[in-house]
Amino acid sequence: MSSPHDPRSLVGRWAFERVVTDRLADEVIDVDGTVELSVEDDGRVRWAEQGTMHRRGADIEVSRVLYVVEREGGWMVIFDDGRDFHPWSPGAQVVHLCGADTYAGWSSSGRRRGG
């Protein structure tokens, strides 16, 4: 049996919610949708998001694909081009610096979606 910190234990479809603070536009933006976790033939966990960004006056469809890969000492979330994003640390805050921007958040399991 895999541990709760093993992303393979979360294979399936999940709901996600995200809040984006756009300091340049002085706007707080809600994003919601689903994330599908599946195990690839090479052992990576594919993390595919589809959702809607709710901006002032417009809803924008968004999507992205990430991977969770096992590394010495734990798991790492990477972008689809192989760059590191952040350690896989359910329940702990993660921070990713991206130029002048900072991504800060956490992940936790909760609402599984049917399908």
Q: Residue 41: exposed, middle, or buried by beta-carbon count in 10 A (0-12, 13-18, 19+)?
A: exposed
In the prediction, which pLDDT does 1 show? 42
pTM (two decimals): 0.81
Name the nearest CA neighbour of 35 among 17, 14, 19, 20. Answer: 14
Q: Mean pLDDT of all residues in the chain?
A: 85
In the prediction, which pLDDT does 11 show? 94
- CA separation, residue 40 to residues 25, 44, 63, 81 (Å): 38, 5, 19, 16
Strands 84-87 and 94-98: unpaired
In the prediction, which pLDDT does 114 show? 57
Please write the tens of the pLDDT for every residue from 44-90: 999 999 999 999 889 999 999 999 999 998 899 999 999 998 888 87
Quick check: 36 pLDDT over 70? Answer: yes
